[in-house]
Structure 1
Amino acid sequence: MRDISRISADGAKRLYRTVNRTAMLALVSLLALAMLLPPLTPAQAASDYRSAIVVDLNSGEVLFARSADTKRYPASLTKIMTLYVLFGYLRDGRITLDSELTITPHAAAQPPTKLGLKPGSTIRTEDAIKSLVTKSANDMAAAVAENLAGTESNFARIMTQQARAIGMKNTVFKNASGLPNNAQVTTARDMAILGERIMRDFPEYYHYFSLTSFSYKGRSYRNHNHLLSNYSGTDGIKTGFIRASGFNLTASCRRDGKHLLTVVLGGSTSRGRDATVRYLFDKHWAKASVGSTTNPFVASPSLPLRRPPVFAVASAGGSAAPAARPAAYQPQQQPEPQRVAVRNPLAQAQPQVQAQPAPQPQLVGQSDAGGPYHVQVGSYTTPQDAERRLGMIQNKAGTLLSGHQPVTTSFQHGSQQWYRARFANFSQSDAQQTCSSLKRMSVDCIAMRAQ
């Protein structure tokens, strides 16, 4: 037995030495081969994405796009639209930053990442906004949805309809957080449209996206968008991740009068995704145009918001090829009903803030509106929403609509009463010309005979 043990041990040692030498030779061969291969370029080292787009927000030119119209899962980039809709409610005065949002059992049951508030508790709207931007709190996204629209599914329909209204043709929302849902999809181009629009449409609230941290009840939460602290000029906006989507990021960078927006979807790691965004910024910065020294996304009582840029695609020669105005800025008239708007059943426990008074339109029936032709600018579930829309359009295009009476006409769609927002007293040709002019101002409309 001793001899057999000694022979077995000696054999094992020889086998180990042989295997070890073989492994070392293989390693040396691999290292030698690696030395012969060319080093990875920065582009190869930072290509951690499935879809990407880079937009010059001064000129509206698309400087780079790859698989930009391929549908992918948005993950927490969804919360940008959640905030876009919320900012609209704030702008209209339906809620304020100090309004208390009630946490429902549904909201409290959302999986992490979340703040973890208990059902029945409340949170200020502004704190909810900060938690969405920094911690990407799923429970706060659901709370916003339920407090504003009654249910999260109702709110998701509003989000999708808002996406269509601003030109996001390939996006569907099914929840307010971005948690997994196979039917919830978007594209890099659509997210670029949303990123530009939230800056342009709500400059008074965009600054929240630049927060590097948020403190709440003694705890501090760091923003997941690390470019805010490690890439000069970054001012927002949002990260996102679920397993099905990979790592996503919409990022805005502004330096020396230049302003680029980059969207990357489908990174395999957060570090690789961030490196890709930095590389895309660096690579296209020299081609970016220099804009006005006045920031077009800062609200000013004396300066109107700039008109949205044309997302023109650069030609092979590097210059911007002529392009038709994209759907983002030529919204098409949607089949009625255009918008879902429901009363919030939780609103009775919240402070009620009246919106600024709008010009009072005449409420008329479907068949007794004045004038042979109308210009319709929307359909809504409450007369107040229709009136608010008319007031907004009058403020934007008052000269164009001078002498034309704002009216609302009601109609029944299923069990729901709807209200059309219209301007009256047009001839057919005048209505068509006016609607064409409004569309050039990014106002959705349709010319039709009074009914």
Structure 2
Amino acid sequence: MRQAFAGAAFRQAFSARSAIAGLLAVVISLAIAAPAAAQSKQNPRYAALVVDANTGKTLFSANADSRRYPASLTKMMTLYLTFEALSRGKITKETRVPFSAKAAAEPPTKLGVRAGGSVSVESAILALVTKSANDASTALGEMLGGSEENFARMMTAKARSLGMNGTVFRNANGLPNSGQFTTARDMATLGIALREHFPQYYGYFSTRSFTFGRQVMPNHNRLLGRVKGVDGIKTGFTNASGFNLVSSVTDGNRRIVAVVMGGASGASRDKHMTDLIAKYLPAASNGGKAAPLVAKAGSTQFDAVGKLQLPKQDAPTPDMRPDTEALVAEAAVDMDEAPAVPFEQAKAEPTPEEVPAPTLQAYADPAPRPQAALEAAVAAPQVDPVKTASVAAPSGWVVQIASSPSRAEAEAILEKTTKVAPGPLRKASPFTVPFEKGGVTYYRARFGGFGSKVAAWDACAALKKQKISCYAVQN
């Protein structure tokens, strides 16, 4: 009888504990869901996502597929392409990154390197992951893509190949551009891809501080070292985007990637991210990763452009390190400390949802046909000519292979020729030249960088042997 009574009492007590535990779980869920719902209603910029990085399962989602401005989260893709170049041996950590006048003129936050100066690739990486330096990001983009505009096309093409179909990049640093947008889901995909594809470089994202000259640059990500398990990745802020953060968190075999976009302040964003981590990290799978979640990008015509433009050795830049005089005298503005502008004021710049749909649709096909993909790529602002620091400017003698009223067609011809006739064009630089005829703009498809008339004639002769029409002309 006593045993029966004790058993009943135990069951009642256990049932009571279970009820309390269930109630606490509901309270915790509501505590997180309520602020999220309030932000969604009151803050049109808000979006969030938590993904199990082992299984790909979505653990929490709020506006995860809606367009948002990436701000400095853009630098995650700049770093992805930098890591890719490192892994392929196109550059090394010691390769010098030249700072053009454009890069040097970027607004803070920045390193403050003067035009004509340079830093190592590793210094540029550290400047991006800690201080989110806009000048270093632009310099990397120009080195890897020949121009920041072309690099942005490469970034968007890479996004497509990773399955990021809601993202369009227009620059390498995330500074305001109404045509540049992304989604919380795409940023989570990129965060996962960075760790999966480049584990040898992923540790850069956990760097607490970076010393450059007399500057000590703490990491803008305040959750590093404060929230258990956080090992990166990136913060971002502009008035139009609000406060953004992508976090990677690991606890034993459990691993999540969480995204918060459009926070009203850095503090509120960090608090919301901390709450999401506390809630959903314990709910993540504990069995370890079975297979990569994000497939590595396959070879596309965009990759071919990238391979052509990446320097085969260190780019010829001034062999110098910036001294204290090369640094900006005034203190750089920490954008993650800047006050958030009220949304009504921020709307003076169009929100991502107001960007015309064709801008996104032009890139919507994750596996576009070659011509369609090329047309999509050139829909972005163009640069003419396309060249890199490792190739001489297209002056002197050049080889012309075609002309067309379509820039896309002219560039397609250049790319195809580069693929089928790499030998004669190994050191050449492809570019297009616009000209007017009968009121119509045409584009000459040319290769430059030949040191002499003989070199240009020899290259053209080799092309003709491969049934490629051409002629050499002095530019």
Contact 2:116 2:318 in 1 (8 A): no
2:162 is aligned with 1:166: yes
1:330: Cα distance to partner? 9.8
The one of 262, 267, 282 aligned to 1:271? 267
| Equivalence for 1:340 | 305
| Equivalence for 2:253 | 257
Q: Quick one: structure 1 residues 282 and 166, their matched pair in 2 at CA, closer, same or farther if it must change by over 3 Å?
A: same
Q: Quick one: structure 1 residues 258 and 347, their matched pair in 2 at CA, closer, same or farther if it must change by over 3 Å?
A: same
| Equivalence for 2:226 | 230
What SS does structure 2 have at the residue aligned with 1:228? Answer: coil
What SS does structure 2 have at the residue aligned with 1:419? Answer: helix
- Pairing of 1:153-302 with structure 2 (within 5 A): 153-292=149-288
- Rg bigger for which structure? 1
Structure 2 CA distance, aligned partners of 1:112 and 1:135?
Answer: 10
AA matched with 1:41: A
Structure 2 CA distance, aligned partners of 1:308 and 1:269?
Answer: 34
Q: Quick one: structure 1 residues 208 and 269, their matched pair in 2 at CA, closer, same or farther if it must change by over 3 Å?
A: same
Contact 2:67 2:166 in 1 (8 A): yes
Q: Which runs of 4+ in 1 moved over 6 A?
A: 330-334, 377-381
- Pairing of 1:4-83 with structure 2 (within 5 A): 41-45=31-35, 50-83=46-79
1:418: Cα distance to partner? 4.3
1:250: Cα distance to partner? 0.4
What SS does structure 1 have at the residue aligned with 2:103? Answer: helix
1:329: Cα distance to partner? 4.5
Structure 2 CA distance, aligned partners of 1:122 and 1:279?
Answer: 41
Q: Quick one: structure 1 residues 85 and 173, their matched pair in 2 at CA, closer, same or farther if it must change by over 3 Å?
A: same
Aligned length: 299
Contact 2:159 2:165 in 1 (8 A): yes
Contact 1:105 1:119 in 2 (8 A): yes
Structure 1 CA distance, aligned partners of 2:198 and 2:298?
Answer: 22
Structure 2 CA distance, aligned partners of 1:66 and 1:276?
Answer: 12
1:254: Cα distance to partner? 0.6
| Equivalence for 1:419 | 419
| Equivalence for 1:308 | 292
AA matched with 1:112: P
Structure 1 CA distance, aligned partners of 2:34 and 2:101?
Answer: 47
**Per-residue CA shift, 1:404-444, capped at 9, x if unaligned?**
xxxxxxx9823442438xxxxxxxxxxxxxxxxxxxxxxxx
| Equivalence for 1:325 | none
Relative to structure 2, which stretch is displaced further, 173-182 or 40-49? 40-49
1:333: Cα distance to partner? 9.2
| Equivalence for 2:348 | none
Q: Quick one: structure 1 residues 122 and 106, their matched pair in 2 at CA, closer, same or farther if it must change by over 3 Å?
A: same
State the TM-score, normalized to the length of structure 1.
0.61
Contact 1:154 1:340 in 2 (8 A): no
- Pairing of 1:432-451 with structure 2 (within 5 A): none
Contact 1:104 1:143 in 2 (8 A): yes
State the TM-score, normalized to the length of structure 2.
0.58
What SS does structure 2 have at the residue aligned with 1:167? Answer: coil
Identity of aligned residues (%): 43
Contact 1:174 1:183 in 2 (8 A): yes
Structure 2 CA distance, aligned partners of 1:412 and 1:268?
Answer: 44
Contact 1:153 1:175 in 2 (8 A): yes
| Equivalence for 1:136 | 132
2:107 is aligned with 1:107: no
Structure 1 CA distance, aligned partners of 2:269 and 2:139?
Answer: 29
What SS does structure 1 have at the residue aligned with 2:177? Answer: coil
Structure 1 CA distance, aligned partners of 2:76 and 2:302?
Answer: 24
Q: Quick one: structure 1 residues 208 and 187, their matched pair in 2 at CA, closer, same or farther if it must change by over 3 Å?
A: same
Q: Which runs of 5+ in 2 are unaligned?
A: 1-26, 40-44, 320-368, 375-409, 421-475
1:58: Cα distance to partner? 1.6
1:285: Cα distance to partner? 2.3
Root mean square deviation of aligned Cα: 3.2
AA matched with 2:92: T
What SS does structure 2 have at the residue aligned with 1:58? Answer: coil
**Per-residue CA shift, 1:355-404, capped at 9, x if unaligned?**
xxxxxxxxxxxxxxxxxxxxxx99999xxxxxxxxxxxxxxxxxxxxxxx
AA matched with 1:171: T
AA matched with 2:171: N
**Per-residue CA shift, 1:147-166, capped at 9, x if unaligned?**
12211001111111000011
1:307: Cα distance to partner? 3.0
Q: Which runs of 5+ in 1 are unaligned?
A: 1-37, 297-305, 310-327, 352-376, 382-410, 421-451
1:286: Cα distance to partner? 2.6
**Per-residue CA shift, 1:306-340, capped at 9, x if unaligned?**
6323xxxxxxxxxxxxxxxxxx6597997x56653
Structure 1 CA distance, aligned partners of 2:81 and 2:92?
Answer: 14
Structure 1 CA distance, aligned partners of 2:147 and 2:243?
Answer: 28
- Pairing of 1:370-389 with structure 2 (within 5 A): none
Contact 1:338 1:378 in 2 (8 A): no
Contact 2:194 2:202 in 1 (8 A): yes
Structure 2 CA distance, aligned partners of 1:179 and 1:412?
Answer: 28
Structure 2 CA distance, aligned partners of 1:414 and 1:222?
Answer: 47
AA matched with 1:57: A
1:124: Cα distance to partner? 1.0
Contact 1:192 1:262 in 2 (8 A): yes
Structure 1 CA distance, aligned partners of 2:224 and 2:140?
Answer: 25
Q: Quick one: structure 1 residues 337 and 124, their matched pair in 2 at CA, closer, same or farther if it must change by over 3 Å?
A: closer
Structure 2 CA distance, aligned partners of 1:261 and 1:231?
Answer: 14
Contact 1:412 1:418 in 2 (8 A): no
AA matched with 2:413: G
